[in-house]
Amino acid sequence: MTASWRAPRDLSKPLCGVRPPAPASPPKTCAASAVLTRPAHRGMTLCMIIYKIFRADEWAHLRTQGETLGAPVDLADGYVHFSTAGQAEDTAAKHFAGHDDLMLVAVDTDRLGDDLKWEVSRGDALFPHLYRALRLGDVVWAQPLPLKDGTHRFPAGYAEAEG
């Protein structure tokens, strides 16, 4: 069987009608986001946006290959690390301090199915971990994460996109 090739998707155009967040009108993650209320799941929804921070070469790999098992830390741990909107800025500060070649990649949890697990990690908080390759088709949007005065500048409105 021969592998088929397809041109990379133009990431400046919306995928499934969801555009990158804008200050005036952040995108919705899904039509009916049910908030989970059990103490262990407070702040999570059944359908929400989670984030992966990639270095430029990691992002380029996902775009050219169509999928990735993640960064070296993801390969070592056996899953792709993600953060919620409330965790992403701390993740950037802790694991990407001083890096200015980053992309913030947004993924809708509905696209990941049962391969997404919520597990206790930093500060006893639940973090999303993906136990399969991340596919380009899982990506809702991606935006540069520039470094200015030693701090990563997240896109305006990204946190409201969480649902």
Contacts of 117 (CB under 8 A, 6+ apart): 79, 128, 129, 130, 131
CA torsion, points 10, 13, 15, 19, in degrees to nearest 10?
140
In a domain, 60, yes or no: yes
In a domain, 31, yes or no: no
In a domain, 28, yes or no: no
- Give me the CATH number covering residue 111: 3.20.170.20
Note whether 75 and 69 are within 8 A (CB): yes
- Alpha-carbon span 62 to 11, nearest angstrom: 12
In a domain, 147, yes or no: yes
Q: What is the pLDDT of residue 93?
A: 87
In a domain, 12, yes or no: no
Contacts of 102 (CB under 8 A, 6+ apart): 53, 54, 55, 56, 92, 96, 144, 145, 146, 147, 152
In a domain, 5, yes or no: no
Q: What is the pLDDT of residue 159?
A: 73
In a domain, 74, yes or no: yes
Contacts of 33 (CB under 8 A, 6+ apart): 45, 46, 47, 48, 163
How many structural domains compose the chain?
Answer: 1
Read off the pLDDT of residues 31-58 as tens digits, 9 standing for 90 and up. Answer: 434 443 344 444 454 578 999 999 999 9
Which residues of the chain are modeled with pLDDT < 70? 1-46, 161-163
State the residue range of the domain holding 130.
41-152
In a domain, 10, yes or no: no
